[in-house]
């Protein structure tokens, strides 16, 4: 069984969160796990976030849509 992890760098997460949510909702049946990471410094929450998505299959169509807006990296484990 192959495990595919998609990493998405949301540089302007406050401004792009709605579009991101729309795309992953369209592909909700393909997404097994979603983890959101955003760095913070003391009392300041930065406007950048990294989302990790574990998907069933290759996630090819989802990756294509995400790459139109954000930096995407892919990890595949076999």
CATH number at residue 61: 3.30.70.260
Q: What is the pLDDT of residue 63?
A: 97
Q: By residue range, what is the domain housing residue 60?
A: 3-77
The C-alpha angle with vertex 15 and arms to 30 and 48, in degrees rounded to 5, equals 75
Mean pLDDT for the stretch of residues 16-30: 95
Counting the structural domains of the chain, the total is 1
Q: Which two tokens stand for residue 22?
A: 């729309």
What is the distance between the alpha carbons of residues 1 and 77, in angstroms, rounded to a whole number?
Answer: 9
Give 77's strand partners: 3
Read out DSSP for 34-67? EEEE--EETTEE-S-EEEEEEESS--HHHHHHHH
- Stated pTM of the model: 0.88
**Better-scored residue on pLDDT, 14 or 53:** 53
Q: What is the pLDDT of residue 38?
A: 80
47, pLDDT greater than 90 = no
45, pLDDT greater than 80 = no
What is the distance between the alpha carbons of residues 50 and 21, in angstroms, rounded to a whole number?
Answer: 13
Q: What is the pLDDT of residue 7?
A: 98
């Amino acid at each position: 069984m192959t495990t595919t992890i998609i990493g998405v760098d949301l540089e302007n997460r406050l401004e792009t969160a709605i579009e991101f949510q729309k795309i992953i909702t369209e592909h909700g049946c393909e997404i097994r796990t979603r983890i959101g990471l955003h760095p913070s410094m003391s009392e300041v929450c930065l406007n950048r976030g990294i989302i990790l998505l574990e998907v069933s299959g290759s996630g090819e169509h989802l990756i294509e849509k995400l790459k139109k807006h954000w930096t995407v990296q892919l990890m595949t484990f076999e």
